[in-house]
Structure 1
């Protein structure tokens, strides 16, 4: 009997695995309506615009001097100087290269942020489906226990029952009602969380199916795919490139700045026109900037190495857990005989083959087993979702 009852629970669960899920549709809506994603998009687009500014010529300057001579017959002097300053020519090319890399990094920053947010939303969806699946047997358990409680009370009225049976049923019903209400509250809270993630637009998932799982390749193949879409790693790789580009800019900025322009001078009725030129001497302004960028590049290399190692072993650990959980679930799927558990127990109790105490003990045993299975199934989908996070 224990085998058949447990079997019924298992097949009840697997009957919903291949059903069409709405999780992907929910994530599509969240990607479109989420306020954080919209804010991130606006912020990084603004950053990209900012990276492209500041690489133009300095504003031209106009100087005007009018000097009165003393004594009166000394005459007056007028000076007009129009100048245009600019960095050493190689600076502009270096700054353009730096802006390009910063723009690429902004794209990876945005993708990484959106990837993380959508993954968190998917975990909420998985938890919600788990709660929806749990609510079904809890509802049946509550209805069945309420039915037996009414039956025991009726038997007591005709002198064919005991108050002990009623007490056992009332305690059992009280516990099931608590589990039912706790789970219902969790469902409501998760749906509110989804609505919040959806920018305040109502989003409710009532499905008891997760999502279709594609064929998961072997670890080495999957690790390469994940690595190719690791936006955080790409961002860190660009940190090295950006540090190098910033060092190139710093070196170029240490070269002399120049200015050219027009100079007019009028004095004692005579005028002078000519070209104005100038050059700055890079003595103090750029001190230690190259050394600073070298330190940043060394730090970026260390962070990238640490991330690469940690990410590899994190994926390896997840993949091992995925294989373990898949093996457990596959064993359940091999069971092909389906027997509903509650009718068996009901018949046994009605026929007097088991006592009320035995009935509830057996029922609780199989309920606990089924609850454990639902948790294992949820963890399986969470692990799969984590492995497939790179697809966002």
Structure 2
């Protein structure tokens, strides 16, 4: 009975939420130590710097030549030249605009990566809290069966109960303890995942702050999540900017098909005479530039489609979670008076003591209420997961 009361108390706390600050602190620790989000940001910086690295003049070229005459009268000829090549002038400005836009998109991608990390950390903490509640629930049930087994063992030895009833309690106790041990193994696996998410750093403080009670849920705030997507979602903003980057890259690809130039200084020496002058060269684009332009066109179209797909998928996911949130809330309201009512369990206990029901009947009936209690915990877990996904912009 105490198990049932404890569960109702835990769920009530989850709905009123006095532990939000501790939960947020645990969340902040995980996010700050997570390595995947840091790596994603570094990759974005690398891509932008690669674009900027392409927007520089090639190194100057220096040449030295010496040719020998066929006879002594002709003499030898010595030449030195230094030249600098450059692309079509407007190409550098186009590349710079593309890199600047990509850098702006990177800022939004950083914010999006941080929100993704917070959502994943929030879900992981909720997984841990759910496991803790299940262990607490199962531990109390196991303790009750331990007590019953001890009683029936003594009673069977004194001839007050049958050996069959004692064996039934042993079998039931073994099954309950097996499930408890599985939950404990699940907890160990969750702790490993938490430490990996925490960048390998110790998670003692995270676990202490997370505790075994869910954070508060402001459903009114969650209901407005859909209206925030276009104006607050950094992933969508980044996708829109990536579309602009693709357009800028298309301009770069087209301008890359224009000729390049080179200007150089030349010095030659022949037969005691010295010559100074300059050279001008032109480089004609290859036919492969045509395919690069076509690829850039396709990239621009894909970037636009990706942005719209991302927006529609985000809206669909949030709409689904809002519907599920209502369903879970209604189901929890239906379950609450049942799992909080201890009268049926007390009647079962009295009936067993008075020998009005058999031990097997008692266990079957008691397990029915235990299972309802477990389903209640699982419903609250699903409710919290949906709320966590809807709290994406928190």
What TM-score comes out, normalization by structure 1 length?
A: 0.87
1:88-119 superposed Cα distances (whole Å, 9 cap, x missing partner): 21111101011122223444444444443443
Change in Cα spacing, 1:336 to 1:264, as seen in structure 2 (3 Å) is: same
Distance 1:272 1:92, change over 3 A: same
Question: Given the alignment, which residue of 205, 211, 215 partners 1:211?
Answer: 215
Partner of 1:42: 42
Displacement of 1:334:
7.8
In structure 2, distance between residues paired with 1:267 and 1:98: 49
Aligned to 1:318: 321
**Counterpart of 2:75?**
75
The alpha-carbon deviation at position 384 of structure 1 amounts to 0.6
After TM superposition, give the deviation of residue 368 of structure 1 in Å. 0.4
Distance in 2 between residues matched to 1:208 and 1:291, nearest whole Å: 57
Q: How does 1:138-177 map to 2 (within 5 A)?
A: 138-177=138-177
Give 1:284's aligned residue: 287
Answer yes or no: is the 8 Å Cα contact 1:240–1:297 preserved in 2: yes
- In structure 2, relative to structure 1, the CA distance for the partners of 1:368 and 1:285 (3 Å cut) is closer
Aligned pair count?
A: 387
- Which ranges in structure 2 are unaligned for 5 or more consecutive residues? none
Structure 1 residue 283: Cα displacement: 5.6
Distance in 1 separating the partners of 2:148 and 2:3? 21
* Aligned-residue offset at 1:132: 0.8
What pairs up with 1:6-155 in 2 under 5 angstroms?
Answer: 8=5, 11-17=8-14, 18-20=17-19, 22-155=22-155
Tell me if structure 2 keeps the 8 A contact 1:5–1:366: no
**Corresponding residue for 1:180?**
180
The 1:40/1:312 distance shift into structure 2, 3 A limit, reads closer
Structure-to-structure mapping, 1:370-381, within 5 angstroms: 370-381=373-384
State the shift of 1:381 in Å: 0.5
Cα distance between partner residues in 2 of 1:364 and 1:389: 38
1:354-369 equivalences under 5 Å are 354-369=357-372
**CA separation of 1:281 and 1:191: change in aligned 2, threshold 3 A:** closer
Residue 321 of structure 1 and its aligned partner are, at CA, apart by 0.8
Does the CA contact (< 8 Å) of 1:262 and 1:274 recur in 2? yes
